[in-house]
Amino acid sequence: MAVVGLLVGLVVASLALRLGDLDSWLWMDEGISVGVASHPLSDIPGLLRQDGSPPLYYLILHGWMALFGASETATHALSLTVSLAAIPVALWAGWSLFGRRVGWTFAALVAMSPFLAYFATETRMYALLSLLTLVATASFLHGFAFGRRRYLGMFAPALALVLYTHNWGLWLTAGLLVALVPCAKAAVDRRRFWLDATLTFGAVGVAYLPWLPTLAYQRANTGAPWSSRPVLREAVSVVAAVLGDTHERVLVALVLVAAPALWVLLRRQESLRPSLLAVALIAIVPVAIGWLGAQVSPSWAPRYLAVCVPAMLLLAALGLAQGGNPGKLALALILVVWVQPFGRVTGLRPPTRLDYKADVKPLADAVKPGLHTGDLVVAMQMEEVPVLAYYLPVGLRFATAMGPVEDPGVADWRDALTRMQAATPARSFQPQLDAAPVGSKVLLVCAQPGAGPSTLPWFAQMTLRCTEWQATLTADARFTSVPALAPDALAGVASREGIALSGRQVVAFTKTAS
């Protein structure tokens, strides 16, 4: 009963830290999640040929929305539920692998991790990815590092589900394959070990086989033009961010306290050596492959490291639990840095809401009274269309610099930069202006110059196209500016909501003549 009570207390404490963002507004990526998941279940895998993601999260979100609706709170609740489920799973994983002390330390880290808390109230797949990776990592260690073959039946489906949740599951798979090496060296029957590994990973491959044609198409046609090539320093700073402290204090504490304890354990406990090396490889290899891959085809974001977080935190829990009194002190300090309890109690550090990056909601509230069925909304930031469609009235038409958007719930990333560069007002915009009925409005929503890295062609093209499209509207005598929807009118809303709309340029025109 004491174990159950302590676990419930840990879950409740974690819930209290995460509830504040449950009703936060959706940002661009969340709008895409809801947009894709709003389609019929059978259509979702095919739609993702445009997006670049695997389908599992969107299929689950579709079912969740059918039960609970598509509001911000409802869709965030899915991630929150999944993230809370990770706490008892972490306790089981740490306890069953390395003992009770490691189990409780691991559970505490998972419960209080700012990284996991952040994605616990975001309508994206990263909470699910972390949970599935946790199960896959623990069952891998049971099955291959400790020779408990019954866990291989858990490992194979868990890894397959990871692959169907995020493409960085491929990098996790690579880390797991590398981690087989130290496990094989310690195996009593290596022939049996490699047979098990071949059959288990083969089963995962067979399960993933139906998705390979879509993955190949995505690799050839979609990308992340918003991402830059990370420098070497980012391979360290991103780990610090994942560990919940961009100032790297947590990383330093783990290096000074947990790392020496792990080194001693590695040298003195030969029976634990395969599992320790395996956990380290599962944590490191995906980061290394992801960083190297981003040098060739930029696709780098801290959130992708959700596939490494369980192994990182398990490694930290091992070191802290074996670190004696310094380990206990380091754990306490890490939790204080993460939770900031004194600042929260005194009000000196109010929780930072996720709304800071979700400025479409107040913008939509300001402009939608002046918009009517058939009006045209043009978003120069292509991936913003789904969240605009979520918050704006039904019946509007949407377009981007590339032309009309047939399905505003999906962001079409196929050859996006090439299509953006080829877009011209005459080809992509003028036909829509000509077809607009007299009396209808055109709302142009642009990112402010400098909103993204100026060195990336994607953001430079957005700025250029916004200037061209606005000039086209201004020069067209059939259209008249609508002051009520001008940026000055939005300033009052921004001030009232406490959200800066400085990241947007908004202009509106009414067609007054044919």
pLDDT of residue 496: 40
pLDDT of residue 161: 98
Same domain (yes/no): 341, 398: no
> Angle 72-98/2-18 helices, nearest 10 degrees?
140
- Domain span holding position 133: 41-214+233-346
Domain termination site, one of 295, 324, 346:
346
Distance CA 204, CA 212 (A): 12
pLDDT of residue 345: 53
Per residue, the 3-state secondary structure of 96-135, as one string, reads: HHHCHHHHHHHHHHHHHCHHHHHHCCCCCCHHHHHHHHHH
Same domain (yes/no): 209, 330: yes
Domain count within the chain = 2
User: How far is C-alpha 41 from the geometric centre of its chain's CA atoms?
Assistant: 22
| Positions of the chain with pLDDT under 70 | 342-358, 448-454, 484-503
pLDDT of residue 513: 87
Domain termination site, one of 346, 378, 404:
346
Give the count of alpha carbons within 13 A of 157, CB side only. 3
Domain termination site, one of 324, 346, 368:
346
Rama region for 296: left / alpha / beta (φ>0; ψ in -120 to 50; rest): alpha
Residue 168 lies inside a defined structural domain of this protein: yes
Query: 166-195: per-residue pLDDT in tens?
Result: 999 999 999 999 999 999 998 989 999 999
pLDDT of residue 351: 52
Same domain (yes/no): 333, 361: no
pTM of the model: 0.92
pLDDT of residue 253: 87
pLDDT of residue 356: 56
pLDDT of residue 489: 46
Note whether 98 and 323 are within 8 A (CB): no
Residue 253 lies inside a defined structural domain of this protein: yes
Name the residue among 241, 224, 225 with its Cα closest to residue 233.
Answer: 241
Name the residue among 116, 98, 135, 131 with its Cα closest to residue 319.
Answer: 98
Same domain (yes/no): 266, 365: no
pLDDT of residue 357: 67
Same domain (yes/no): 325, 413: no
